[in-house]
Amino acid sequence: MATTDKRHTDIISAAAARTLPGLFQCRALGTPDGLAYRQFNRVRSLWEDFSWQQAARLAARWQRALEREGFPSGERVAIQLNNCLEWVCFDQAALALGLVVVPLYTMDTPTNVAYIVEDAAIRLLVVETAAQWEMLRPYCADAPALKLVVCVNAGPDYQPGSDTMLRTLDEWLGVPGSAAPSVDEAPLANRTDDPHALATIIYTSGTTGRPKGVMLSHHNILWNVEAVLRAVPCYREDMFLSFLPLSHTFERTAGYYLPIMAGSCVAYARSIQELAEDLVTIRPTMFISVPRIFERVYAAVQHGLAKKGSLARRLFDWTVAIGWQRFEAGQGRGRIDMLQRVAWLMLRRLVADKVLARLGGRLRIAVSGGAPLSVTVARTFIGLGLQLLQGYGLTEASPVVSANLPERNIPDSVGPPLPGIEVRIGADDELLVRCPSVMLGYWNCPEETRRVIDAGGWLHTGDQAAIEAGHIFIRGRIKDILVTSTGEKVSPADMEMAITHERCFDMAMIVGEGKPYLAALLVLNRPEWESLAGRLGLDPDDPAALDSARAQQYMLEKVEGLLHAFPGQTRVRKVYLTLEPWSIDNGLLTPTLKLKRREMELRFAKQIRQLYAEHDLPA
């Protein structure tokens, strides 16, 4: 890791940038030859580097193509691409022309995409392949505003002229996509200068009902990025590895606009499946993730330790314990003696460095957001020496509200609010937020906007929280609270997280609204089930085995053990077991992999009724 005196702080302020394309333009002019983006070329099988000047000239090509369409300022255009430099080019080109960018999840369902295309009156849509458009066409082709669809990679089945609405990127740009921009090409021209103009509409995942379009201005996002950088330092020498979808506000703000403001480089991961290899190849210094990635690495380490035996387990646990004491001492909450310091020097080389090598081996800061991170997982990585910071935010706040700081890190919390952000606790312990990054409102939903942003400008987050010693502690979701028939209130999210830390459970959902006790719907890990079924004398391929008394009792006891630290009213009395995973494709998960609880309750209504059959009163 580079020493502090060799790192360059080169922040472009929100005031200097004024708008998002203004920020991009300032960066390209200020450090034209600096490394901006790294992307894998699958045709040539190598990683390619792009300077800020090269990226700006590529974006200018997109701008000229967009300009030929003649869309007036304020019109909406959408993008459904995996993370790549083309995503940046389209976004910057559209914003520079005063257009409003609507990002779409690549894994979203065609019906959901069609709803957004029509609701936002999308004029132009950029997709990955012609085959992707073929899936969307039956749902989107008749959208009244949609004029053109551009596919970045046509694919072998593409036939020119077969669809009058579809054009390849090369056709649309008018130049071969592989041709590098020449130095005499005109750079990106910024045609918008109003920082408070609408920049983007981001549709929330929609765990209940239709998604809502969150309207964010240029200033909303720029202010938030600058506030993050005031709390967590970032340098021109930093390398980001981008893999969370850019349609997710967390990645777009912290993993795209923030590196532009700081002058850092972003490398685009090839895919989630290749992420482990990309981490080792790119060796990022900054890593923005959701808890699931850390949980997967943690589970892989635990699985490896189980194979190595008790000595390896004791050595690992000792490393984490001493590492955690070092961390607490560094935070002013404890002390570490000389013997422990010496032991750490040995254990770091033998254990910690080998585990962190899976994350590239030179991470300066890792940030976890988007969902609660398990305390066990957080303490393990911190104990191994990783600077792991948990934060909190929501799309409606552009999105970061709070984050732990390197020198003020309480892993159980989501940190103090960013500089300039006001927070307070409202009715029902709801966290309220007020700051310049709070959204303009919901697209076409003025009543819903008034419900969420009150007359005093406070954003009602829907999250229950407590504020202690200046740090925010998230306790649960107000609308996700279960109230049993005995009057007990239960937050299911923490229970579900505790259950899925066990390797044999891939997914979990707690139910019990209006019922006398709690029950759980559980998706079992297939290899673990096959091994367990053999020990229980059951046929793992027989669906009836999941309903057997032996399987039910074993899994119920396993869940009880995992929830032993929770209050008594959280005891799970019944379980439903399945091997069929819940996914985006089957409509049970949002694009951000959150449970669609209402959809789950409808889909599994029969199974849930059976869990309470002995206790339900006659209709």
CATH number of the domain encompassing residue 602: 3.30.300.30
Residue range 215-229, pLDDT digits in tens: 999 999 999 999 999
Tally the domains of the chain. Answer: 2
Q: Give the Cα separation of 365 and 52 in Å (integer).
A: 24
Q: Give the Cα separation of 66 and 92 in Å (integer).
A: 11
183 — pLDDT class (breaks 50, 70, 90):
low
Half-sphere exposure of residue 472: CA atoms within 13 angstroms, side-chain side: 32
Question: Where is the domain boundary, 242, 260, 289?
Answer: 289
Q: Give the Cα separation of 92 and 23 in Å (integer).
A: 10
Q: What is the pLDDT of residue 163?
A: 85
Per the domain annotation, does 245 fall within a domain? yes
Per the domain annotation, does 99 fall within a domain? yes
Question: Where is the domain boundary, 289, 312, 332?
Answer: 289
Per the domain annotation, does 248 fall within a domain? yes
Q: How far is it between the farthest Cα atoms of the chain?
A: 80
Q: pTM for this one?
A: 0.83
Per the domain annotation, does 374 fall within a domain? no
Ranges of beta strands (E only) in 408-540 are 422-425, 430-434, 441-442, 459-468, 471-477, 482-483, 489-490, 505-511, 518-524
Q: Helix (H, G, I), strand (E, B), or coil: what is residue 376? A: helix
Phi, psi of 446, deg, nearest 5: -65, -35
Say which range, 30-34, 371-375, 598-602, has the weakest mean pLDDT. Answer: 371-375
**No. of H helices and E strands in the chain?**
22, 25
619 compared with 475, residue with greater pLDDT = 475
Which stretches within 120-217 are classed as H helix?
A: 130-140, 169-173
Which stretches within 374-511 are classed as H helix?
A: 375-383, 446-452, 492-500
Q: Which domain holds residue 497?
A: 482-611
Per the domain annotation, does 311 fall within a domain? no
Per the domain annotation, does 397 fall within a domain? no
186 — pLDDT class (breaks 50, 70, 90):
confident
Per the domain annotation, does 323 fall within a domain? no
Say which range, 83-87, 133-137, 208-212, has the weakest mean pLDDT. Answer: 208-212
Q: What is the pLDDT of residue 618?
A: 37
CATH of the domain at 153: 3.40.50.12780
